[in-house]
Amino acid sequence: MIKRLALLCLICTAASAQHIPIILDTDIGDAIDDALALALALNSPELDVRAVTTVIDDVDSKTRLAWKMLGIYNRRDIPLATGASEPLGGPASVTHSKEFDVLTSDDTIPDSARRRAADLIIETVMKSPSKITVVAIGPLTNIALALKSEPKIKNNIERIVVMGGAYLTTEEEYNFKRDPVAQKIVFDSGLPITAVGLDVTRPCKLRENDLDRLRVAESPEGRFLLRLVDLAAQESGDRYPTLYDPLAIAVVFRPNLIETQAHERATTQVGIRVDAPAFLDLFIRRVSSAGLNDLPR
């Protein structure tokens, strides 16, 4: 009996070791890839999503949308917080996203979700028994504010995975352009950073057969994502989203999806190549709920 209990403990320990604790910081609603990234994170058993925070501009609607998604995925146990509406280097921008059309009067957030995102980031990192991976798929405002407010969090952050920048071209990327002051603070922090930029994410564009696989699943989650995709297409004119942000999520637990090289900052690695077919297949299997048990063996 004792041997069986010991074996069970070993199995449980090994299983828990596969769960990577993350904080997801997102500007959900600005583009469809943020919602798709949240869906991938919630549907990936390798990840333990400890907190979700929203950032920049209409953060009230963004937090409501994130809260709605957490409800659809039955994950309202995950703490949620509302981030900074203004970048450190400038004012907020007043825009309306078509994705917010899914919100109704019933989509009200609890008082706990109105707390400052930087405070939730600090609390989550400081209380974690193991180091946290921070995944930032929007402007880096909240992360910079957390680092400035409590520099000690650096001691319990494993790394920061960022969707931002362009490293093989001279293009400007939205997340870094939106708050260059925050981007500098984060990249100068000395923390290990994996940067998933425009260069490596651009080939990761959904195809019609990918959307067909999502339609066939006929799950409430899949139907909701398809509705968001349709609303985003009405706004952008593009029926097939590019999965910029979801790739950053996938890289946390499948780092071999991209090839990286050292950046001019010693602690930063930037993506230079991606196995787009493998990533797209992984993404669709996960968000269609067909791949929830495909942990690597």
Identify how many contiguous H helices and E strands the chain contains and give both numbers.
Answer: 12, 8
How confident is the model over 158-195, as pLDDT tens digits? 999 999 999 998 899 999 999 999 999 999 999 999 99
Report the C-alpha dihedral over residues 257, 258, 259, 261, rounded to 10 degrees: -140
pLDDT at residue 203 is higher than 50: yes
Cβ(61)–Cβ(51) below 8 Å: no
- Helix/strand/coil for 289: coil
**Residues forming beta bridges with residue 135, ordered by sequence position:** 24, 161
Domains and CATH numbers, the chain: 19-287 (3.90.245.10)
Q: Give the whole-angstrom CA distance, residue 45 versus residue 268.
A: 27
Is the model's pTM score more than 0.85? yes
The half-sphere exposure of 239 on its side-chain side, counting CA atoms within 13 A, is: 6
**Mean pLDDT along residues 192-217:** 94
pLDDT at residue 281 is higher than 70: yes
**Mean pLDDT along residues 286-293:** 65
Residue 259, both tokens: 């090839």
How confident is the model over 55-98, as pLDDT tens digits? 999 999 999 999 999 999 999 999 999 999 999 978 878 778 99
Cβ(147)–Cβ(153) below 8 Å: yes
